[in-house]
Structure 1
Amino acid sequence: MKIEDTRLMVIEGVDLLEHLQTPAVMVARGQVRFANSAAKDLLGAHIVGQDVRIAIRDPKAVAAILSETGGTARISGLSTGGSVWEVDCKVLPGGDRIVSLYDLSERVSVAKSHADFVANASHELRTPLANVIGYVETLMNPKAGGNEELRERFLGTIRHEAQRMQALISDLMSLSRIEAVKHEVPSDSVDMVQLAQEVAGEFRSSATIELVVNAEHAVIAGDKGQLLQVLRNLIDNALKYGKADGTVHLSVEVARTGWVLVMVRDEGEGIAPEHLPRVTERFYRADNSRSRAAGGTGLGLSIVKHIVERHRGRFDIDSRPGAGTTASLMLPLREN
């Protein structure tokens, strides 16, 4: 290939790179000769003219870039502390190199979340299953199985653990269904005042529920089944972790800004500040032993958060040790 043809290819390549949203640089004789706007935003405009070993301070990436045949390398922390990037180097005729940088952070994060989710779900199921198997094997022993008192106690434990697994599987399936439709905006008309009255009525036979509303109606575009699940989960949590025989406070407030605020407050011990940022994570528990004893699966607040986000709303948990916990959600009112 003639030198003029090679130069023309380089010029055309530079013009093409400038229009890419992917960060890309051109390296010649170990120096960065050109960087498109995306690369300058990522690495800084000062990299043009720098030695590539200074512009990209990663031995694996530099080795791939300076290799005679080019190559790829995965590096961490190029943009932010937890970011993951792939550096891909292609060698052009004449020896110049085009280096593209691909942000894999979201893909890696999603893959890690899925792996963690499977591991946590497996662990949560494995523990009660192991208990069930252990107690069943004990009951199969004629000596233990013939003891009526021991038999009743063991069967009660088996039933409890089976119900725990059943609740966990139910929540896992619920979370899966919610995620499957999370991009579909609900369109049915749902009156949050009416819904709150309905749910409060369900619990009043076994608990003290105080309901306060400031309007006759609060109609939103929503999925009634999912919103019922939200209120039931929040009231159930308030009863589990609130003060024994305490009151659960449920309120629905219509604001002039076009939003409806729904709050569920308990009178329990509250949650320590260090736990608050993580309470909506799947399987996260501020108090493992207390949550399991109360029958919690560790998925309730995660389900609530997903449903509220699907309704284009906001969900928040506010709590102080000794002062109870308040769960609040804001949902946009339906326009007339």
Structure 2
Amino acid sequence: MFDVVDPQAPVTAALVEALGSAVVLLDAQGVAQALSPAMLALIPALEKGQPLTLVLRDPDLIDAIEEVSRHGGRKIVELIERVPVERTFRIHIAALKGGGWRRAVMLTFEDLSELRVTERMRVDFVANASHELRTPLASLLGFVETLQGPARNDTGARDRFLSIMREQGLRMARLVDDLLSLSRIELRAHLAPETPVDLAGISREIVDSLTLMARERNVNLRLEMPAEPVKVAGDRDELLRLMENLVENAIKYGREHGEVFIEVADGPAEASVSVRDDGPGIAPEHLPRLTERFYRVDTAASREAGGTGLGLAIVKHIVLRHRGRLTIESALGQGATFKAILPRLSPQSRSTSA
């Protein structure tokens, strides 16, 4: 136990507030008496003078604090928070000396979120990548063996096979790129972006860059947005990727000779961007699973269009990292609408960026 008697003493609070680790000091009643800057950054909802249980209601954590406060000693608890994004903490609980039948306790938080995500990504990458790469790799090996054997001197077959091999190689490259992008986004999911980004400007940039692709399918892109910038707290590269994936999907899987409508809307607390196509639509049973990794409504059509099955999973994780919401509306024969709703830039951030 730490040899500290009074958790309310100014010197004790000053000591805790000078620490570089995420530390909170609770009195015998479980009220926060001091928090380090790292603690405030890790869990901003914690406040000095308020019970810890108002913010962290995990039964195992509460029981561990109670036990250490009554009987002294130390305990270690692992806490998993599910909202707004999943975060994992290892919490070291230690009693302070002195006091009556209950003791003050000190909690030190260790953020394991990045480590857990990395472990999970490693497992997912091996499982998913091995499954998805098996087919193109088998094709490549088959064509190589054919070119080394029966088609060794067949110029026509060689050109045809090399073209197919190139397509399979590009498919694997896209798959690896999407897997790495998804991994990077998941790795930073617990860190909400704070940089001011113009959602309207990003939408215009993506529409301009995909105009040629749309023209090849005779698809007309229509963009509606406010005249003024629509500022959100975001990661510019990730929001570009979000818009690119949504508009590309609408062009690829919408109606040929059709239209894609992109609308940027502004509000006092939230901004949104929606992408709507006039394609064949999606059956209701598929909607809840569209953002799963490698889930495809039509596997053959997706692969023919160059899809990896990861585009909407990337979109979902970008939206979650930005503390937003993704809605999907569709019905057979009526097209589909994908809408990303993001928090508006806070007034403090707006004044800082102005």
Report the TM-score range of the alignment, normalised by the length of the smaller protein: 0.5 to 0.7
- Contact 1:268–1:322 under 8 Å retained in 2: yes
Among residues 308, 314, 321, which one is paired with 1:303 in the alignment? 314
The C-alpha deviation readout for 1:15-57, integer Å capped at 9, x for no partner, is xxxxx9349xxxxxxxxxxxxxxxxxxxxxxxxxxxxxxxxxx
Residue in 1 that maps onto 2:267: 255
Taking only the aligned residue pairs, the percentage that are identical comes to 48
Preserved contact between residue 267 and residue 344 of structure 2 (Cα < 8 Å): no
Q: What is the rounded CA distance, in whole Å, between the counterparts of 2:273 and 2:59 in structure 1?
A: 42
Provide the residue aligned with 2:288 in structure 1. 277
Aligned equivalent of 1:166, options 173, 179, 187:
173
1:289 aligns with 2:300: yes
Question: Which residue of 122, 127, 130 maps to 1:122?
Answer: 130
1:181 aligns with 2:180: no
Report the count of equivalent residues: 238
Q: Residue in 2 aligned with 1:137?
A: 145
Alignment gaps of 5+ in structure 2: 1-57, 62-117, 215-219, 348-354
Aligned equivalents of 1:148, 1:184: Cα separation in 2:
55
Residue identity matched to 2:137: L
SS at match of 1:248: strand
Residues 112 and 333 of structure 1, relative CA distance in 2, 3 Å threshold: closer
In the other structure, the counterpart of 1:239 is 251
Partner of 1:266: 277
| Cα displacement (A) at 1:214 | 3.3
The whole-number CA distance in structure 1 between the counterparts of 2:240 and 2:142 is: 37
Query: What amino acid is the match of 2:160?
Result: R
TM-score, normalised via structure 2 length: 0.62
| One-letter amino acid of the structure 1 residue matched with residue 252 of structure 2 | K
Change (3 A) 1:113 1:223: closer
Which structure 2 residues correspond to residues 188-207 of structure 1 after superposition, within 5 A? 188-207=195-214
Say whether the 8 Å CA contact 1:186–1:222 is kept in structure 2.
yes
Q: Note the C-alpha offset of 1:259.
A: 0.8
Match of 1:212 among 195, 217, 224: 224
**Separation (CA, whole Å) in 2 of partners of 1:136 and 1:235:** 36
Alpha carbons of structure 1 residues 117 and 318: separation in structure 2 relative to 1, 3 Å: farther
Instruction: Write the letter of the residue equivalent to 2:312.
Output: L
Q: Give the Å deviation of 1:111.
A: 8.9
Instruction: Give me the TM-score of the superposition, normalised by structure 1.
Output: 0.65
Q: Which runs of 4+ in 1 moved over 6 A?
A: 110-114
Once residues 290 and 259 of structure 2 are traced to their aligned partners in structure 1, the CA distance between those partners, rounded to angstroms, is 22
Q: CA deviation at 1:135?
A: 0.5
> Could you say which structure has the larger radius of gyration?
1
Match of 2:153 in 1: 146
Between the aligned partners of 1:145 and 1:249, the Cα distance in structure 2 is: 50
SS of 1:204's partner is helix
Matched with 1:93 is none
Q: Output one character per residue of 1:125-161: Cα deviation in whole Å (capped at 9) or x when no partner.
A: 11101100100110111x4132222111111110010
Secondary structure at the aligned position of 1:205 is classed as helix
Deviations 1:229-271 (A, max 9, x none): 0000111111111111322111101124x11110011111111
Letter in 2 for 1:224: R
Which residue identity is paired with 2:308?
T
Structure 2 CA distance for partners of 1:222 and 1:111, relative to 1, 3 Å: closer
2:59 alignment partner, one of 11, 15, 21:
21
